[in-house]
Amino acid sequence: MSKTEVTLPAMGEGIIEATITRWFFREGESVLEDEPLLEVATDKVDSEIPSPVSGIISRIFYSEGEIPRVGAVIAIIESELSATSDDSETEGSDMKLTVNKPETKNNISDEPETEPGKNFKKSSDQREDNRVSREHMHLTPFVKFLAKSREISFDELMQIKGTGLKGRITKADLNAYILAGRPFKDLFNSTQDHNLVEGEIAGTNEKNLYKAGPGEELIEMNRTRKLIAEHMVRSKRISPHVTSMVEIDVSHMVQWRNENKETFQKKHGIKLTYTPVIVYAAVQALKKYPMINISVYDEYIIKKKNINIGVATALPDGNLIVPVIKDADKRTFWNLARELSDLAKRAREGKLEPAEIKGGTFTITNMGQYDNISGTPIINQPEVAILAVGSVKKKPGVVTMGEEHTIGVRDIMVLSLTYDHRVVDGALGGSFVKEIGKILEGPMPEY
């Protein structure tokens, strides 16, 4: 028998742990290679982990609801070296490897699907019994996040018929309830004591060391905020941060967008914003200055052949996520705009896959959406640079007409590039951000 250790895989930059929400198999049961073995959740995404091999699950180290760290061994699978699939005999013996799947592997009800909202029609007595019996049910981080972002109270949440293990509410259940128009919304006050922000639902009963004084309120960070904090402190500790800024005249870009936004939306079905233009400009600049598209490992510089652009996106709960456009250098402007729109939408809905928030080589953050003219962002490790885009402001500027110069009202934007001074000097960093500005001041891309 060979033994294979199943470890918790990495699921994105800054994610160091995950909650096990469901095991599809139990100890002693057989599983096939690539079959979903368990489901895990972070505050960003839910995902299934497939079995790396076929065999018998001999040991499970973490139960549902427990939180292992990335890289931890979560199970052991024993397999015959010459074992084959169902009902196939092992050569030279009478032994067979039979795959015994649980009768309800995915814990989904056998009831036929109905139109949205049909499963939510219950009497008030049934609703109260349902809430009481499930009051201490474990909720995954994703379900908590989605419910909180939609201001769904705990009492309202408890009316949803869960299809997960032991009646647990899954993300599919919650999405179906929302699509059905939240039939129980008016039955409960979302500000009551059973709101999701309370400790019993947030999953912590620990006593805080700091005691709030008069006029103070003690708010514990959620897991996403803790991970962001750890990631930011780590980045400042690793990289000596330097920032270079340029002020550019984007009057032509503003005029181009105003003239083309209606045509663009009719043609492609999405709004034309400045963000894809800036991403497009950054990609062109990275092609010219490839030593920005790198990372550092010990005393080595890793030069990336692919350009993967991360775009910081604010979430409904106030936290931040960075979905990544893979191979951005191989995409047309229209394709970049479509991918950005899709990733941003699914990020706010909590529907991103783990692969969509990792692998970035350069990050862009838009501070202009909050009317900030500039900023000095922190590098998203293991990258070596991050671009901050300020708001567009109308200012007096020099207008050149032939050989004459005059003063006119111009649209001005500030770009700031923060970079890792271990490997990017001022000349390279300054030249790179200047190149982005030059592209944005020039001809706009075709769509």
397-412: b (≥16 Cβ within 10 Å) or e: eeeeeeeeeeeeebbb
Q: Do 86 and 99 form a contact (C-beta atoms < 8 A)? A: yes
115-142: b (≥16 Cβ within 10 Å) or e: eeeebbeeeeeebeebbeebeeeebbbb
Closest CA to 385 of 285, 317, 298, 315: 285
Annotated active-site residue in 138, 231, 252, 421: 421
In total, the chain counts a number of residues equal to 447
Token pair belonging to 48 = 């299934």
For the question of residue 425 being annotated catalytic, the response is yes
Determine the Cα–Cα distance for residues 422 and 240; give it in Å rounded to an integer. Answer: 7
Closest CA to 159 of 189, 135, 195: 135
Token pair belonging to 100 = 């015994």
401: which strand partners?
A: 404
Torsion of CA 110, 111, 112, 118, to 10 degrees: -150
E-assigned strands of 375-436?
385-389, 393-401, 404-420
> 11 φ, ψ to 5°?
-130, 25
Determine the Cα–Cα distance for residues 276 and 344; give it in Å rounded to an integer. Answer: 12
Alpha carbon 398 to chain centroid distance? Answer: 43
Annotated active-site residue in 34, 129, 371, 425: 425
CB burial class (10 A; 0-12, 13-18, 19+) of residue 158?
Answer: buried
Q: Which residues are CB-contacts of 384 (< 8 A; sequence separation ≥ 6)?
A: 239, 292, 294, 295, 296, 419, 420, 422, 423, 424
Neighbours of 341 (CB within 10 A): 17
Closest CA to 20 of 1, 51, 52, 48: 48
Catalytic residue numbers, as ranges: 421, 425
